[in-house]
Structure formats: structure tokens, C-alpha cells
Amino acid sequence: MKHIELIELLYKHRELIDSAFSGESVQDLPLELVEDATVFQKVAKKYELSDTYVQFANAMLKRVDANYTFGDYNEEIKLLIRLKSDYLDTQDKMLISRIKELVITLYKKIQQRDILINARINDIVHDNDLSIELIIKDAQDVDNRISELIDAHSQNLKILSHELRGLDDSLDEVLVDIGLDMLPFTQNIHTYNKRLSDFILRTQKRKEQNKKLYSLSRKIIKEQDYELKSLLLSNTQLHNHTLKEKKTSNIKYLPTQLELSKISFIDALKKVLNIEKVERKSQVNKPYQTSKTVELKAIRLEYIQNDIVKDKPQDIYSYILNHKEIQKFQEDNLIQTYAFKTYLTVIQNNRENTTLETNYNQNNIRVVKWI
Amino acid sequence: MDIAKAFEILSQGKIISSNSATYVELSNMLLNNNFFDELDELVDKIGYKLIGENGYFYMAKKARLNTTEQQLFINRHRDLIISIAFLRQLYPRLDKGSIIYFTETVANYANAKNDDSSIKDMLLNFSWMKNKDDEKVMLEQLFKHLEDKNIIEKVQENNTDKYKILDAINYYLSIVDLVEKGEE
């Protein structure tokens, strides 16, 4: 399988892989995810994401497995020292290139470790699911390990910047470059140490505070909060509080009568507030209306009916529309409405005398003929 | 925003947090020493004190409180201390700047109640709580109360699920620290 095919495969099953990555169990797994690429592995008859995939994803996402321990690279350092003494004995140039390779690998490992420590701390600081006790424990574990690493790291630096120097010019060049590149990691490891210690202190304080909050809230519920009351009342000048209750329960700070009578109050207010005069004009209500003469109109249906019988129109609607009984409503703009109502009434009352045509007139109304 | 507007807002008994988006203009003004001193001098003349500490600002009264005022004053503090204790039971690491979701809070509450049913007593204790049978409605009222008292704030105006914890929470936490000595 080519790399591009792997990417396509992962994309095709992205939902499934993602749900498995979040810890859900997987059902109906497509076999290509096990056979073509080992994204999943079978463990005790169940499929779960393979360790290699999880490691890959964690590394890409800069997340760290909680069980991961950060290496101190003592073994690599020991090897470097052994290679140095071998070189001093044999003067074999091959050993110099092995030392160079090892130094570069060591640098890469330290760089990777730096990313992982940072990620682990971020995980701890932002994990809101774990209980506060577990978080403190995790943070302390990592913090202790970092303290150990600070010692190991300064040992490593000593080897790289002193012990290995002077063996070979090209090696010295590599060592100088790497020494410079290592500077930020040295700083970082101290920053991590401080950041975690601060975090632990803060979290412990919060844990203590939660206990206090819980205890005080129980006391309030049981109305045994005498200390709270006396603290609040003894220091009112320091505490935010509410004065002068309003009926709407909106509470505002309002000065008392005594304070209002102080001239300084008015002066002070005048200095900063634009007090606008509000005119008091009561609104005049007019509950009565002058009555108007209302003209009452009605359609005399029998007039129209008689005219229709007499004239036998080919299109009853158009005929009614132009009838003088309907034209009365011209000024009210209601002729269409009344014409249509009348049209329906006439047809309804004279089913046997009318026929329904298939076509429509210019008003889009079905043509009905009188027979 | 001028001193009159600042006075108007603070005189409503609000605690203004410096991480509040609603009052960002006012809190920026209050962070300016000249402005703070000017307003403090003004309110001092009318018997109040402007207090700014730990990321929040509020007004306090210098003279003694009468009995009605005392009762209101104490009840307000009691209610908010219980509200914060309630939130901390659901989110032990909640602090200023934390983001909480209403829906998640309802779910966390349901879980917490399974472990310890006494958490419901906290909600029932509030005198302003109506509809004491429907816990979701009670939680809605709690959020509304906390929002009214400027302890939490909607992150987006039209999103009624996502809230930010404001710096004002520290005002109440510092009172708790003073009252309860704890095991230290």
C-alpha cells in the first residue's frame, strides 16, 4: 500500500477511527483497516486502535500518553563517553562519525522530549475531567520527574560542551551548533518546572477552598453562619452591598436623607452629572369620539337575479361586475369582492339554469352561462 | 463612557470585573489611576467608597447599614456563596476565566446528585427559586441569578449555553477564605 492510499483509507473511515480514538468501542469494522494497514488490532476478540496508530496520532497532535516517562538519556551519554575513550585508544575516524551521529540523535530526542513535556503539562493543566486529587498527583509526578531531568540535563550539557570537545574539528563544529540549539530547551525545562509548581500550588489552594466553600454553604443552609454574618457586618465599609430595597427587587445605592442634606452632595453631583429638567405634562386622554354619518349599503340580490333572467348573460361574473347594484361599491373599492360573492350566490341558487364553461374570463374567473 | 456613566453603573450595586466583555470599557477606565481617584473622590463625598482589588471594582457604603439593608446585604452574600459552592462541586477547578456550558452543567448536576443527593438542598435553599420540582428550570434560574449578579457572563450574546466566569467570583471566594479557616 502506498502512503497516499493510506491517507485515503484513513480519510474514508475518519468517523470510525475518531470515535475509537475517543475511547468508544467499535463495531462492524471494515477489514481493510486491519489487513491493509494495521490501524486496528484484535485484542481478545475485540478490535481496538493499534498502539502504533495511537502513538502516531498522539505525536502529531502533541498529546502525551499519561504513562509515558521522559527519558534522561543516561545510556546515550555513557555510550558517548565509551566511544570517546575508544577513539582516544584507537584514533579510528569511524568512531568520530559515530559520535557525531549519536550527538545529533541525542539532540533530536531532547527536542522531542521538550515537545512532549510541554504537551503533557498542557494536558494536565487543561484536563477538566479528572478529579482534583488525581490532577494534583499527576502534576506532582511530572514535576518530580522534571526536577530529576534538570540535573540530568545539566550533566548532558557538560558532556556535550566540554568532554567531547577537542577530539576533532568537524565534531567540535557540530557540538557548538547543537550547544546553541539546546539553549531554549534548557530554559524551557526550568519554565516547565516553575509552571507545574505554580499549578500544583494553585490547584491545592483551590482544593482547600472547595472544602471551605462546602463547609460554609452547609452552615448557611443550616443557618449556622454566625461568623459570616459578623464578618460582613463588622466590615461593611469594605464590602460590596445593597442599599435601599426597591419593590422590583432592583437594588440601587441611594444616599440617605442625612447624606442628601449635605451641601457637598449636591455640589458633587452637579459637577459630574448633567441633570436635565423633566417637564411634567400629563397626557390628555380623549375617551370620546365625534360620531360620523355612516352610509349603509347593501346589495339587492333579487334585482340582479331578475336582470339576469331577463338578459341571459353569456358570462355571469362580468355581467354582475358591471351591474349598477355592484357599481355602488366603486368608491369603497370593493366591487370585485361583492361581485364575486354575488356571482357565487347566484350560481348556488340557480344550478339548473346555469352551465359551467371550461374557459376563464379576463378576471380569471370561470365563465358561467345562463340558459 | 464618562464619570457619570461609571457612577450610574457602579451605583446599581454591580461588581465590575476586568475580564467582562460587557463592561470592558468601564473596567479599562477604572484601571486608569486618575479616573479611579476622581471617581473615588466623588463617591467619597456622598458617603461611599470605591474599591478596586483582584481584578474587580465595586462601591461600598461608609456609614452603618439599617436593619433592612443588613438583611439584604447578608442574604445576597449568602446566596452567592452557595451558588459558587454549587458550581465548584460540579467543577472543582472552576476559577475566574473558566468557561462553563449550561447543558454540561445539567448533566454534571445529574451525575453529582447520584453520588450525593444533598447537592439539591443548595438549589432548594434559594428564596427566589421558583418551580422547585423541575431541576433544569432551577438551574436556569441559578444561571440567570449569577448572570444578574455579574459572576458569569454569556460569551456570545445569542448563545445561552456558553458562559465565562468573571473576576468577581474572587470577591466572594476571598470572603469564604476569611470566614473559614480550614485546615491550614
Tens-level pLDDT at each residue, chain B (184 residues): 788 888 888 888 888 999 999 999 999 999 888 999 989 888 888 778 888 888 899 888 877 777 777 788 888 889 999 999 999 989 888 888 889 999 999 998 998 888 888 888 888 888 888 888 888 899 999 999 999 889 999 999 888 899 999 999 998 998 898 888 754 4
Q: What is the mean pLDDT of residues A311-326?
A: 86
For residue A284, the model assigns a pLDDT of 67
Q: Which amino acid is at A57?
A: A
Residue A138 banded pLDDT, cuts 50, 70, 90: confident
Alpha helices in chain A, H assignment, sequence order: 3-12, 14-21, 32-35, 51-60, 74-90, 93-126, 132-158, 169-221, 226-234, 257-260, 263-272, 301-311, 316-321, 324-327, 335-349
Q: What is the mean pLDDT of residues A30-39?
A: 88
How far is the alpha carbon of B157 from chain A, nearest alpha carbon, in Å? 22
Closest Cβ opposite residue B93 in set A132, A239, A252: A132
CATH of the domain at B145: 1.10.10
Is residue B45 assigned to a domain?
yes
Query: Do B50 and B103 have their domain in common?
Result: no
User: CA of A259: which chain B residue's CA is closest?
Assistant: B46
What is the residue range of B149's domain? 67-179
Residue whose cell numbers read 473511515: A13
For residue A247, the model assigns a pLDDT of 42
How far is the alpha carbon of A126 from chain B, nearest alpha carbon, in Å? 10
B122 has a chain A CB within 8 A of its CB: yes
**Above 60 in pLDDT, residue A203?**
yes
How far is the alpha carbon of B133 from chain A, nearest alpha carbon, in Å? 19
Query: Do B153 and B113 have their domain in common?
Result: yes
Could you tell me the residue ranges of all domains in chain A? 3-60, 74-219, 301-370
Query: Do B104 and B121 have their domain in common?
Result: yes
Query: Do B155 and B100 have their domain in common?
Result: yes
How far is the alpha carbon of A199 from chain B, nearest alpha carbon, in Å? 11
Span A156-186, pLDDT tens digits: 888 888 888 888 888 898 888 888 888 888 8
Q: Which residues of B touch A211 (CB under 8 A)?
A: 182-183
Residue whose cell numbers read 496520532: A57
How many structural domains is chain B composed of? 2
Q: Which residues of A touch B70 (CB under 8 A)?
A: 233
Residue A215's SS3 state is: helix
Q: What is the mean pLDDT of residues A258-267?
A: 65
**Angle of CA points A234, A268, B37, to nearest 5°:** 65
Query: Of B19, B43, B61, which residue is a domain's last?
Result: B61
Alpha helices in B24-153, H assignment, sequence order: 24-31, 33-45, 67-90, 102-115, 119-125, 135-148
Span A70-108, pLDDT tens digits: 778 888 888 888 999 999 998 888 888 899 899 999 898
Is residue B52 assigned to a domain?
yes
For residue A248, the model assigns a pLDDT of 46
Q: Which residues contact A170 (CB under 8 A, 6 or more apart)?
A: A96, A100
Query: Do B120 and B172 have their domain in common?
Result: yes
Query: Do B93 and B149 have their domain in common?
Result: yes
Looking at chain B, how many residues does it have? 184
The secondary element (H helix, E strand) that includes residue A355 is: strand A354-360
B57 has a chain A CB within 8 A of its CB: no
Strand partners, A305: none
**Does the domain formed by A74-219 have CATH 1.20.58?**
yes
Q: Which residues contact B98 (CB under 8 A, 6 or more apart)?
A: B91, B164, B165
Q: What is the mean pLDDT of residues A242-271?
A: 58
For residue B184, the model assigns a pLDDT of 46
Residue B23's SS3 state is: coil
Query: Do B71 and B129 have their domain in common?
Result: yes
Query: Of B61, B81, B106, which residue is a domain's last?
Result: B61
User: CA of B168: which chain A residue's CA is closest?
Assistant: A240
Closest Cβ opposite residue B93 in set A203, A242, A255: A203
How far is the alpha carbon of A57 from chain B, nearest alpha carbon, in Å? 27
Please report the sign of the dihedral spanned by the C-alpha atoms of residue A233, residue A239, residue A242, residue A244: positive
For residue A249, the model assigns a pLDDT of 45
Q: What is the mean pLDDT of residues A237-258?
A: 54
B76/A241 CB distance under 8 A: yes
Query: Do B27 and B100 have their domain in common?
Result: no
For residue A258, the model assigns a pLDDT of 62
Residue A245 banded pLDDT, cuts 50, 70, 90: very low
Percent of chain A scoring above 90 in pLDDT? 3
Q: What is the mean pLDDT of residues A35-48?
A: 85
Query: Do B172 and B123 have their domain in common?
Result: yes
Closest Cβ opposite residue A213 in set B72, B73, B88: B88
| Mutation site, B46, B76, B96, interface A, largest A CB count within 10 A | B46
Q: Which residues of B touch A229 (CB under 8 A)?
A: 74
Is residue B184 assigned to a domain?
no
Closest Cβ opposite residue A241 in set B4, B73, B122: B73
Query: Do B49 and B88 have their domain in common?
Result: no
Is residue B169 assigned to a domain?
yes
Query: Do B37 and B73 have their domain in common?
Result: no
Query: Of B61, B76, B96, which residue is a domain's last?
Result: B61
Is residue B26 assigned to a domain?
yes
Query: Do B32 and B117 have their domain in common?
Result: no
